[in-house]
Amino acid sequence: MKLIVGLGNPGKEYDNTRHNLGFAAVDALATKHDASFTLNKKFNAATAETFINGEKVILAKPQTFMNKSGVAVQAMMGYFNITTDRVWIVFDDIDLDLGTVRVRRTGGSAGHKGVQSIIDCIGTEEFPRFRIGIKDANCDYLSTEDVVLKRFEKDEEKLAASGITKAVSEIEKALKEGIEHVSV
């Protein structure tokens, strides 16, 4: 079993913001694999169960807001009795160009507060992560908060969708072949 957690912020005001690409990626996985999310109050997360390539997968979207994502992840890990190597985190990355995807098997938070919350709550950096780029030409001139909460411009929507599609593809490949075979 895998727990695949997309990071984002709950609420309509955050829909279609750069910080919610993790939510968008797990939404796309759920749609593709006929799963639907329901709010699970014991985790403070929306969860969906499905099978991908024969493996049971729990998809999750913490409803704790980004900076407290670790609280929900820790609760789900305990409930499902799942180890950190089977917890995959999907999130936006301001250091990657819009539309790109990179996979890391371990590492620090690189300043991402949602990832840092997970590290703090579960006590390790040893978990795979799928990073979806959100950087645009204006990133150098705006604060990090302004960038991550910014909506996509019309001309950026295709690149953002491409990043989501790539993330879904890489997650499916990792589920089929193993995380060590994902090369992005």
For 7-49, give the DSSP string. Answer: ----SGGGTTBGGGHHHHHHHHHHHHTT---EEETTTTEEEEE
Q: With 0-12 CB in 10 A as exposed, 13-18 as middle and 19+ as buried, what is 183?
A: exposed
The per-residue pLDDT for range 27-71, each reduced to its tens digit, is 999 999 999 999 999 999 999 999 998 999 999 999 999 999 999
Residue 119 tokens, joined:
């590290």
The whole-number average pLDDT for the span 94-108 is: 93
Whether the CB-CB separation of 111 and 147 falls below 8 Å is answered with no
pLDDT at 182: 84
pTM reported for the whole predicted model: 0.95
Residue 162 has pLDDT above 70, yes or no: yes
The whole-number average pLDDT for the span 131-141 is: 78
Residues acting as catalytic residues: 19
Q: In the structure, what pLDDT confidence band is assigned to residue 136 with cuts at 50, 70 and 90?
A: confident
Residue 142 has pLDDT above 80, yes or no: no
CATH 3.40.50.300 fits 2-181, yes or no: no
Task: Delimit the domains of the chain by residue range.
Answer: 2-181
Kindly report the average pLDDT of the chain as a whole number.
92
Q: In the structure, what pLDDT confidence band is assigned to residue 141 with cuts at 50, 70 and 90?
A: low
